[in-house]
Structure 1
Amino acid sequence: MAARGESRTNLAQIDALTEEALERAIAEDPDWRDVPRDWHRSAEAAMPRPKVPVSIRLDADLVDFFRRQGRGWQTKVNAVLRAYANARQGGKSG
Structure 2
Amino acid sequence: MNDNITRVEHLTDDSGEVRELTAEDMAAFRPIGEVLPALAQIIQKRGKQKAPTKERITIRLSSEVVEYFRESGEGWQTRLDEALKGYIADHRKAA
* Same fold, TM-score > 0.5, yes or no: no
TM range (shorter): 0.3 to 0.5
TM-score (norm 1): 0.43
Q: Which has the larger radius of gyration?
A: 2
TM-score (norm 2): 0.43
